[in-house]
Structure 1
Amino acid sequence: MRSSIVIVALFVAAVLFAEEDIVETKNGMKLVGKIVEETEKEVTIETTSGILKVSVEDIVYIRKDGKERLFGKTDTEKAIEAALDWLSRHQSKNGGWSAEKFSVRCKEGETCKNDHGASPYFDIAITGLAISAFVNHRDTHKTGNFKETVQAGLDYLLKEQDSEGWIGKSGETHEWIYNHAFATMALCEAYVATEDTKFKEPCEKAVECILKAQNQGSAWRYEPAGGDNDTSVTGCVLLALKCAKTAGINVPQNVYDGALKWFDRCTDPTTGRVGYQKPGDLGSVIRGVNEQYEKLPTMTAVAITSRIFCGQSPSDPVVEKSADFLMKFLPIWDNKGMKVDMYYWYWGTYAMYHYGKDNWKKWYDVTKKALLEHQCKEGCARGSWDPIGKWDMVGGRVCSTALATLTLEICSLWEHSTAGKGK
C-alpha cells in the first residue's frame, strides 16, 4: 500500500488545514492533514489529496492535537522490551532479583550464565535497578505489561525496610548503602509514577535515613555520618534524592550544597576529571579482581550528573571541562570486556543527556550501537547482556541487564522528544 500512497500525498499542500496533524512513515515521508480515526491497525488522515489510510506498522511518528509521540517501535524500544521480558522471566519467587541465583528461573535445558560469578550482598540494589527499569518504561504495578512483576518487586523492597527506614542494611557487607540508595530510588519512582499513597511513608522514612547519613557539610560513604566520603556512593544517594524531590519529599538545599563541595574537592581543575576520594585517583577497584580493566572516568560521569541534579548549570566551566574530558572515553564493547563498564555507561549517558550540546548526540550514537549490537538475541538469555564488564563479578547478568536497560531508556527518552523534528 502504503509507499505509493505516501509518495502521492507527500507535500501536497495547496489547501492548508487550520490545525495540522502529521503522520511520518518509516521511510521519512510525511502526511499532513487531519487525523479522523485511529485503530489498532491503521490511521485515517484527511489530506488535500483525500482521505488516506496508513498501516500502523508503517508509522514512526504522529503529532495530533499538539501532542507528539513515537507511534511505531524503534530498535531501541524493541531492545528495552526484550530486556524487560528477560528481567521478568528471571525474577525470584520472593519478588526480588538474585545476582547469584537468577538462573534457577531459566528455561529447562537452558541456562543463562554469569561467567565471572556474582555477589549475593547487593540483591536489594539490583532489585531496585530492575524495578526502576520497568517504571522508567511506564510499566508499574498499575499499568503496562508487567504489573505483577513490578508489584512483587515493590512488595519485596517494602518488606526489606526496617523500622528505622533503612532498606538492605546488612552486616554482611560494609557497602550496603548501595542497597538503600537504589531501593529508595525505585520506591520514589513508583510513587511518582502512580501516586499510590502506600509508598509515601516508606519513601519519607528512607529519605530521612539518607539525610541523617550525610557527613555534615559534605557527602556520603558506607557508614551513616561516618566521616568518610566517596563520589560513587554520593552520586547514588543523590539519584534517590532527585526522585524523592520529584515525589514532593522535602530535601533541604544545604544537602545539595554539601555534595557540591565534595565534588569540587575531588575535581582536578586542569582536566575536569573527578576522583573517587581525591583528585587524581582513578576510581574504585576490587584488588586482585578487576584491576586489569580500563580505568574509565566513571566518577567524572557521576559528578556531572550530580552537579546538574544539585542545581549547577551545564554551562558552568567546571561542568563543561568534565564533559569534554568524558568524551575522550566513549563506550566501546570489546569481546574480552576490558573496556565494558555498564556502571560507567549508565552514568555517562545520564550525564551527557542532561549536559546536551554536541556531546550528547555523539555519546548517544556510540552507546546505542554498542548496546543494541551486543544484546543477546537467542535462547533463554534473549534480551539480556553478557556480564563481561568491570563490575559484573558483583552484579552479574541481572545488574548488567538492568543498567543497560536504564541506559537505553535515556536514549529512548531523547528519541521520543525529537521524533518528527529531525535530529
Structure 2
Amino acid sequence: MPRQPGPRPQREVPGGAPARSQPPPPVPGSAAQHGKGQLTIDAPEPDPLEPQDLAAAAIRTAPAWLISFVLHTLILIVLSWIVISRDLPSIISLDATYADTLGAQLEDDSLDAPMDMMGGETPSFSLGPAPALDPLASPPMIDPMQGGLLPTARLETAAIGSALTGREAGMKRGLLVKYGGTQVTEAAVQRALDWLKRNQRRDGSWSLQGPYSNPGMTDAKVAATAMALIAFQGAGNTTERGDFQEQVLNGWRALLKEQDQDGCFYHGGQDQDRPYSQGLAMIAVCEIYGMTKSSMFRAPAQKAVDYAVKIQSPEGGWRYLPGVDSDTSVTGWFVMGLQSALMAGLDVPSLTFHRVDKFLDTVALDGGSLYRYQPIRQGYSLAMTAEGLLCRQYLGWKQDDPRLLRGAQLLLDNGIDWNETRDVYYWYYATQVLHHLEGDYWEQWNNVMREEMPKRQVQQGREAGSWDPDGDRWGAYGGRLYTTCLSTYMLEVYYRHLAIYSYRIE
C-alpha cells in the first residue's frame, strides 16, 4: 500500500547567535589624584541603581575593526536567510490511485502535454528513400562456411535498433509510402488488432478455439497467444507503448507462465502442435526483448534460443519431437525465431545456421529454387518453396542469386487469388520473400495484396476485423484466429522487418 505523505519537517537553518554584550569599560580613577600644586576633586561614584546604556557605551568604546566585523556578519546572516528560503523544496504531494492492472496506476496524465507546449522542435520526417543505416540496421549477413564449423562459435550482434525499427511511428510512415502501403491497409491492421483485443481471454491468453465463430481444432493456448502478440508487436505495440499496450502486457503475463526452466513453452497436447507453439513463442519473446530491452524478457528470450539450439535434429532442422527428424515447415518458424534473436542482440551459435543450411540442401530441388516438405517427398510445394527461400535470404543468399530469382518468379506466377484454393500460410511467406527482394517483384505482388486482403476482411458484425477461415487450405485446422493473424502479418510487412538487402551492411 503506498505510503501516505505527511508534512515534511522543516529544515533547521543555522543562524548567527546574538552578539554577546560587552561589559562596560572600567571608569578611570575612582579615588582623588593629587598633583603638585594642584587640587583634584574625586568624581562621585555612580549610583548602582541608576540604569546604564551598556550597548551605547560598548559602541562608543569599541574599536573600529570590531564594529565593521559585526556589521558585515549581520549582513551575511540576512543574505543567507534569503538564499536558503529560495532553495527550500516545496512539499511534494502524492496522489495514490488504484488500477485494475499493474502499471496503469503509474500513468500521469499531466505528462501528456501537447507538442506545441513542450518547447522543443517537432521532429521532421522525410518520406523519401531511407539513408543507409548503421551496422545495427538489420541482422548480419551469415556466411555458414566462416566460423560456422566450430561448435563454440557464436554470432553476436549489438542491441537492436535495428531491423525492428520500422515499427516505430516516424519510420513506419516512411516505409508505408516507400513500399506501397496505404491508409486502407493500415485501417485493416487496426481493425484486426481491435478484433484480437475483443477476443483476449481474462487470463491474458488467446485460444484457437474461440470465443469466436469458426474456431480451430485445438486450443493451442501457447501458439494462439504468441500469434496474437506477434500481430500487436508487428504494429509497434509493446508492454511500454502503443494503443494496445494493456493487451500486450496481459498477454505476456500469460505466456511467460508457460515457459519452464529449460526454455520450453509447450507442455502436453498433440505432438504436431509442440514445435509450432515453441517456434512462435520464440519469435514473440525475442521480438519483445529487442523492442524494449526490458530485463523482464532477456532471460526468457535467451532460454528459448538455447532450447531451440538444444533440440535441433541431426539433420539440421526441427520437427514434432525434440531432436528427432526435420521438415521445412517447422524449420522455417525456428529460423524466424533465431533471426529475431539475432535482431535483438541475443547469442546464437553460428553452427546452428550452418546445420540449417545443410538441411535445406536436402529438401531443395532445381538447384535450390524449389523446396519440398521433407527429403523423402517427390515434389515441391508453393508454401515450402516460399519458406525455404526466406530461410536462404536470412542465411546469406545474395539479392541477385539466380536460384532465388527463379523461385521468386514462381511465387509471382502463383499470386493471391481468392477464387482459387486459398492458402494464407503460403501467401504469408511469399509476401516476405518478395518484400525483401523489392523492385518489380515486390511491386507486382503488392499491387494485388494491398487490394485483396483488406477487401476480404470481415467489415461488419461480431467478427469485424477478422478473416474467415472457410476455404483456406489450413483454415479448418487453425480457425479464425490463425487466418486473421497471418493476414495481419501480411499487411504489416511494410514495416515489420526492414528489407534485408536495402538495410544491411555486409
State whether residues 121 and 173 of structure 1, in contact with CA within 8 Å, keep that contact through their aligned partners in structure 2. Answer: no
Report the Cα distance in structure 2 between the residues aligned to 1:210 and 1:384, rounded to whole angstroms.
Answer: 32
State whether residues 364 and 411 of structure 1, in contact with CA within 8 Å, keep that contact through their aligned partners in structure 2. Answer: no
User: What's the CA shift for 1:381?
Assistant: 1.1
User: What's the CA shift for 1:240?
Assistant: 0.5
* AA matched with 1:133: A
1:254 paired to 2:339: no
Q: 2:332 aligns with which of 235, 249, 266?
A: 235
Partner of 1:33: none
* AA matched with 2:411: L
User: What's the CA shift for 1:185?
Assistant: 0.6
Determine helix, strand or coil for the equivalent of 1:93.
coil
User: What's the CA shift for 1:201?
Assistant: 0.6
* AA matched with 1:333: W
Deviation per CA, 1:125-146, whole angstroms, max 9, x where unpaired? 1211110111111111110111
Deviation per CA, 1:32-51, whole angstroms, max 9, x where unpaired? xxxxx9879xxxx9xxxxxx
Check 1:414–1:260 CA distance in 2 against 1; reply closer, same or farther (3 A cut): closer
Report the Cα distance in structure 2 between the residues aligned to 1:158 and 1:310, rounded to whole angstroms.
Answer: 29
Partner of 2:451: 369
Partner of 1:308: 393
1:101 paired to 2:210: yes
Q: 1:356 aligns with which of 413, 416, 438?
A: 438
Report the Cα distance in structure 2 between the residues aligned to 1:275 and 1:137, rounded to whole angstroms.
Answer: 32
1:327 paired to 2:327: no
Check 1:203–1:356 CA distance in 2 against 1; reply closer, same or farther (3 A cut): same
Deviation per CA, 1:152-185, whole angstroms, max 9, x where unpaired? 1111110011222101232433431110110111
Q: 1:127 aligns with which of 225, 231, 241?
A: 225
Determine helix, strand or coil for the equivalent of 1:70.
helix
Q: 1:345 aligns with which of 423, 427, 430?
A: 427
Q: What pairs up with 1:379-398 in 2 under 5 angstroms? A: 379-388=461-470, 389-398=472-481
Partner of 2:265: 167
1:410 paired to 2:493: yes
Q: Which has the higher contact order (CA 8 A, sep 6+)?
A: 2
User: What's the CA shift for 1:273?
Assistant: 2.0
Partner of 2:158: none
CA RMSD of aligned residues (A): 3.0
TM-score, length of structure 1 as denominator length: 0.73
Check 1:272–1:161 CA distance in 2 against 1; reply closer, same or farther (3 A cut): same
Report the Cα distance in structure 2 between the residues aligned to 1:282 and 1:126, rounded to whole angstroms.
Answer: 31
* AA matched with 2:204: G
Report the Cα distance in structure 1 between the residues aligned to 2:296 and 2:495, rounded to whole angstroms.
Answer: 30
Partner of 2:185: 76
Partner of 1:266: 363
* AA matched with 1:210: A
* AA matched with 1:243: S
Determine helix, strand or coil for the equivalent of 1:181.
helix
Q: What pairs up with 1:48-197 in 2 under 5 angstroms? A: 70=173, 74-103=183-212, 113-114=213-214, 117-197=215-295
Report the Cα distance in structure 1 between the residues aligned to 2:432 and 2:210, rounded to whole angstroms.
Answer: 29
State whether residues 209 and 219 of structure 2, in contact with CA within 8 Å, keep that contact through their aligned partners in structure 1. Answer: no
Report the Cα distance in structure 1 between the residues aligned to 2:256 and 2:357, rounded to whole angstroms.
Answer: 31
Partner of 2:374: 277
Q: 1:401 aligns with which of 455, 462, 484?
A: 484
Higher strand share: 1
Check 1:62–1:362 CA distance in 2 against 1; reply closer, same or farther (3 A cut): closer
Report the Cα distance in structure 1 between the residues aligned to 2:498 and 2:337, rounded to whole angstroms.
Answer: 25
Q: 2:299 aligns with which of 201, 221, 225?
A: 201
State whether residues 271 and 321 of structure 1, in contact with CA within 8 Å, keep that contact through their aligned partners in structure 2. Answer: no
TM-score, length of structure 2 as denominator length: 0.62
Partner of 1:287: none
Check 1:400–1:197 CA distance in 2 against 1; reply closer, same or farther (3 A cut): same
Report the Cα distance in structure 2 between the residues aligned to 1:281 and 1:157, rounded to whole angstroms.
Answer: 39
User: What's the CA shift for 1:259?
Assistant: 1.1
Deviation per CA, 1:239-282, whole angstroms, max 9, x where unpaired? 11011111111112221111112222211116822100037645
User: What's the CA shift for 1:397?
Assistant: 0.7
State whether residues 279 and 334 of structure 2, in contact with CA within 8 Å, keep that contact through their aligned partners in structure 1. Answer: yes
Report the Cα distance in structure 2 between the residues aligned to 1:251 and 1:74, rounded to whole angstroms.
Answer: 38
State whether residues 369 and 389 of structure 2, in contact with CA within 8 Å, keep that contact through their aligned partners in structure 1. Answer: no
Larger radius of gyration: 2
Determine helix, strand or coil for the equivalent of 1:189.
helix
* Higher mean displacement: 69-78 or 177-186: 69-78
Q: How many pairs align? A: 336
Partner of 1:17: none
Report the Cα distance in structure 2 between the residues aligned to 1:347 and 1:180, rounded to whole angstroms.
Answer: 18
Report the Cα distance in structure 2 between the residues aligned to 1:90 and 1:121, rounded to whole angstroms.
Answer: 14
* Higher mean displacement: 367-376 or 354-363: 354-363
Partner of 1:225: 323
Partner of 1:211: 309
Any stretches of 5+ residues in structure 1 without a counterpart? Answer: 1-36, 46-59, 104-112, 284-295, 417-423
Determine helix, strand or coil for the equivalent of 1:96.
coil
Deviation per CA, 1:346-395, whole angstroms, max 9, x where unpaired? 11111111122321111111122220110011112111111121111122
Kindly, what percent of the aligned residue pairs are identical? 32
Check 1:176–1:121 CA distance in 2 against 1; reply closer, same or farther (3 A cut): farther
Check 1:374–1:390 CA distance in 2 against 1; reply closer, same or farther (3 A cut): same
